[in-house]
Amino acid sequence: MEIKIISEKNTILNQFLLEIRDENIQRDSMRFRRNMERIGEIMAYEISKQLQYSEKEVVTSLGIANVIVPNEKPVLATILRAGLPLHQGLLNYFDGCDSSFISAYRKYSKDGTFKIELEYITCPNLDERTLILCDPMLATGSSMVLAYNSLLKNGKPLHTHIVTIIACKDGINYMQKHLFGKNITIWAAAVDEELTVKSYIIPGLGDAGDLAYGMKEHN
């Protein structure tokens, strides 16, 4: 499993990362969603370098040009609801791709603990395809592992790219342990050090779903 942390390099992504972390800028939910989308676009560009390419001819008004283009269209999967803006950013660059949507959430108990509930998945056949699975926050890693394993019921992808904006070291370690030997690359804008007792990333940015779409009640 390969880990790629984009913010370690000088990149405009860091400006968007700063803005989605800033508690004052976060008050503008439209700007928050757009910054998540822009990060998704940058991630799509970086992932595109890993795909297989071939040369094609295109007829212009003045002649014929040769262009190197990808051989395939990946399957784009996301975990609802927080992942939707990030998914849109990927889709902006990988337009025409098939999409998969996963309903997963934290079901809280009265004592404050939770377990991950997976309700449904829509997904095309994944055999011999590249899968890009995104969720903006990789905290404990348990929901991502559950989503990935559930998607495998729809076929075995050639390679999986897992895209997140902010990951926690605990979450990455969990994924390395439970998905050891899998053909997976993790793309993170940033990796933070800690989790709270309620499994929120510190310093993180808060609840990405609430910031993008409004507050919710815990069930």
pLDDT in 10s for each residue of the chain, 219 residues: 899 999 999 999 999 999 999 999 999 999 999 999 999 999 999 999 999 999 999 999 999 999 999 999 999 999 988 899 999 999 999 998 999 999 876 666 666 666 777 778 899 999 999 999 999 999 999 889 999 999 999 999 999 999 999 999 999 999 999 998 889 999 999 999 888 877 889 999 998 989 999 887 655
- At residue 121, the 3 state secondary structure works out as strand
Question: What's the CATH number where 203 sits?
Answer: 3.40.50.2020
CA–CA dist 101, 109 (Å, integer)? 26
The 10 Å CB-count burial string (b at 16+, else e) for 164-173 is bbbbbebbbe
Q: Does residue 218 belong to any structural domain of this protein?
A: no
Both structure tokens of 175:
């994924």
Identify each DSSP E strand in the chain by its residue range.
2-5, 53-59, 64-70, 75-80, 99-108, 114-122, 130-134, 137-138, 159-168, 184-192, 194-195, 201-202
Domain membership flag for residue 219: no
Whether residue 74 has a cis bond before it, omega within 30° of 0: no
In this structure, is residue 190 part of a structural domain?
yes
Domain total in the chain:
1
> Sign of torsion, CA 38 171 49 18?
positive
Q: Token match 């394993």: residue?
A: 149
Tell me which residue has tokens 């050090």: 193
Classify residue 132: in a domain, yes or no: yes
Inside any domain, residue 67: yes
> Model-level pTM?
0.90
Which residue type occupies 138? L
Whether residue 128 contacts residue 158, with contact meaning beta carbons closer than 8 Å, is answered with: yes
pLDDT at 35: 97
Nearest to 44 by CA among 88, 101, 93: 93
- pLDDT one-digit tens code per residue, 113-143: 667 777 788 999 999 999 999 999 999 998 8
Element (H, E) at 175: helix 169-178
Note down the domain range covering 46: 2-213
In a domain, 119, yes or no: yes
Q: What pLDDT does 139 receive?
A: 92
